[in-house]
């Protein structure tokens, strides 16, 4: 009988072999028998908890770990295992308590430090998470997982240089890790090193070509480079591998809309709606398609649905505010934008449109305050600097207006409104030669914009007409706007134009750095 037999150590080891073989029920039987005879056998208790977890009996696994920890609270490894049970259930707070106990009894416990930092990262407590990741790495300079997680924190904080540094260290410490290569690719894309990011994604896919998330992100990277054919191919492949991922449909729709293929853009979102009609981001993207076509009333309806579904999402309120601004419903626009600011005070775009609403209400002081805040948050936005210059012109701050408008011109030298305003500022301060120079540029750009708008409207109505896109590409090329010409030629090439492919090759060779 079991009760008359004292189990030797080799029986405990046999139990762990059963766990390795995934024979969890047999392991439970063996460990239960050992614990029944010797309840102080911590190794058997911990093995029993591990086997219960493997068998899917989480309540019993938690109970047995707690019994073991009551007998000896200094078992840091067991505190980590205990915390992991809660982490895997999505209970971050209880998981954190377990990891903190592990560190309490062993301040050098690397996994405890890393796992606590992971929970803190998930909870958005980035500063404390960063501290614990750095401690873990200091104790184990080869701990690539902690390095990757630290890099991910910096990615979330848009500290891309730091993210790249730590993700490169992680890749050096563990060159075989596909996660490391993937995250490094994400960091480079976020840092606008698109081509380098693409190379890392391709390295991952060379080893595991079927990964849907990597294919999706590679498609987005190709789209950022305006390689429409490869962008669509990889996003569609991601959907083939995992057709339930709504963000993939949204990305595909965004690519189609950028090429003025509105029917395909809406069709992709309709596929997403058949999966789940309660995802706010789908309605935001539908609204964006309407807005891009100038249908602001239709856009507003979609944004309002998104706000009803997910009222805590700032973007819904921001988008509604923008649509209301263009519909000249200024009070409602202001209310929506203030709600967006309350939910997400770090968005320069929200302050920008609050400034534009104030401008439209002739409240110059408020407009200037909002736009200064917007420029502080997004100091490379040509539109923000232009509108700030416009406010300063109204209040006759000619020197400040000149500085703001020149910054706008530096970021976008093709904005007709900026050119006209600079002409007016220089006229006011008596610099007539400069005034004439900018006003002549304004006339030239205005003529170009008229032709561009006519062609763009025709393309929107006839998205499969390759000739129209070739005309638009030529129009851009005549203005020496090579990037725009390349983008339009790539759209035409995606639609099957051999002429566009040939022109694209010539243009790229001609404009090599």
- Kindly give the confidence (pLDDT) of every residue in the chain, 513 residues in length, as a single tens digit, with 9 standing for 90 and above: 344 344 556 688 898 999 999 999 999 999 999 988 888 999 999 999 999 999 999 999 999 999 999 999 999 999 999 999 999 998 999 999 999 999 999 999 999 999 999 999 999 899 999 999 999 999 999 999 999 999 999 988 889 899 999 999 999 999 989 999 999 999 999 999 999 999 999 999 999 999 999 999 999 999 999 999 999 999 999 999 999 999 999 999 999 999 999 999 999 999 999 999 999 999 999 999 999 999 999 999 999 999 999 999 999 999 999 999 999 999 999 999 999 999 999 999 999 999 999 999 999 999 999 999 999 999 999 999 999 999 999 999 999 999 999 999 999 999 999 999 999 999 999 999 999 999 999 999 999 999 999 999 999 999 999 999 999 999 999 999 999 999 999 999 999 999 999 999 999 888 876
Is 506 among the domain residues? yes
Number of domains in the chain: 1
Is 87 among the domain residues? no
Is 298 among the domain residues? no
Contact indicator for 110, 143 with CB cutoff of 8 Å? yes
Is 479 among the domain residues? yes
Is 505 among the domain residues? yes
Residue by residue, DSSP assigns 206-257 as: HH-TT-HHHHHHHHHHHHHTT-HHHHHHHHHHHHHH-TT-HHHHHHHHHHHH
Residue by residue, DSSP assigns 32-73 as: HHHHHH-TT-HHHHHHHHHHHHHTT-HHHHHHHHHHHHHH-T
Is 53 among the domain residues? no
Q: CA 341, 346, 351: angle at the middle one, nearest 5?
A: 55
Domain that holds residue 513: 464-513
Distance CA 210, CA 138 (A): 36
Is 486 among the domain residues? yes
Q: Residue 447: which H helix or E strand, with range?
A: helix 432-461
Closest CA to 92 of 58, 126, 118, 72: 118
Distance CA 248, CA 269 (A): 10
Is 18 among the domain residues? no
């Amino acid at each position: 009988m079991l009760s008359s037999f004292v189990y030797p150590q080799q029986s405990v080891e046999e139990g762990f072999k059963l766990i390795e073989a995934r024979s969890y029920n047999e392991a439970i039987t063996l460990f239960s028998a050992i614990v029944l005879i010797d309840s102080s056998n911590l190794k058997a208790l911990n093995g029993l908890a591990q086997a219960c977890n493997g068998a899917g009996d989480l309540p019993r696994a938690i109970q047995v770990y707690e019994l073991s920890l009551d007998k000896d609270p200094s078992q840091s490894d067991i505190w980590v295992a205990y915390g992991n049970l809660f982490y895997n259930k999505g209970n971050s707070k209880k998981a954190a308590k377990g990891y903190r106990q592990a560190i309490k009894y062993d301040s050098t416990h690397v996994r405890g430090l890393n796992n606590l930092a992971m929970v803190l990262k998930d909870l958005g407590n980035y500063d404390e998470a960063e501290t614990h990741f750095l401690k873990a790495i200091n104790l184990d300079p080869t701990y690539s997982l902690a390095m990757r997680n630290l890099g991910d924190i910096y990615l979330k904080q848009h500290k891309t240089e730091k993210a790249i540094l730590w993700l490169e260290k992680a890749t050096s410490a563990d060159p075989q890790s596909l996660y490391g290569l993937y995250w490094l690719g994400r960091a480079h894309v976020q840092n606008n090193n698109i081509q380098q990011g693409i190379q890392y994604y391709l390295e991952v896919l060379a080893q595991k070509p079927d990964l849907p998330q990597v294919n999706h992100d590679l498609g987005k990277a190709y789209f950022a480079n305006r390689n429409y054919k490869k962008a669509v191919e990889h996003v569609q492949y991601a959907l083939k591998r995992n057709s339930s991922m709504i963000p993939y449909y949204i990305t595909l729709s965004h690519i189609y809309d950028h090429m003025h293929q509105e029917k395909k853009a809406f069709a992709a979102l309709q596929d997403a709606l058949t999966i789940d009609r309660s995802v706010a981001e789908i309605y935001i993207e539908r609204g964006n398609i309407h807005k891009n076509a100038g249908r602001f009333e239709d856009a507003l309806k979609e944004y309002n649905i998104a706000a009803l579904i997910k009222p805590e999402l700032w973007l819904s309120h921001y988008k509604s505010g923008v649509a209301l601004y263009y519909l000249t419903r200024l009070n409602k626009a202001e209310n929506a934008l203030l709600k967006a600011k309350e939910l997400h005070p770090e968005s320069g775009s929200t302050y920008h449109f609050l400034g534009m609403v104030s401008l439209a209400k002739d409240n110059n002081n408020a407009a200037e305050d909002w736009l200064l805040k917007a420029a502080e948050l997004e100091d490379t936005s040509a539109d923000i600097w232009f509108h700030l210059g416009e406010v300063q012109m109204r209040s006759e701050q000619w020197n400040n207006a000149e500085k703001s408008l020149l910054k706008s011109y530096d970021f976008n030298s093709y904005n007709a409104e900026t050119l006209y305003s600079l002409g007016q500022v220089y006229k006011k301060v008596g610099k007539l030669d400069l005034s004439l120079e900018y006003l002549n540029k304004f006339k030239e750009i205005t003529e170009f914009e008229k032709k561009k708008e006519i062609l763009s409207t025709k393309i929107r109505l006839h998205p499969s007409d390759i000739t129209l896109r070739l005309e638009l590409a030529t129009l851009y090329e005549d203005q020496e706007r090579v990037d725009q010409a390349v983008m339009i030629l790539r759209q035409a090439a995606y639609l099957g134009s051999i002429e566009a492919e040939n022109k694209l090759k010539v243009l790229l060779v001609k404009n090599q750095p």
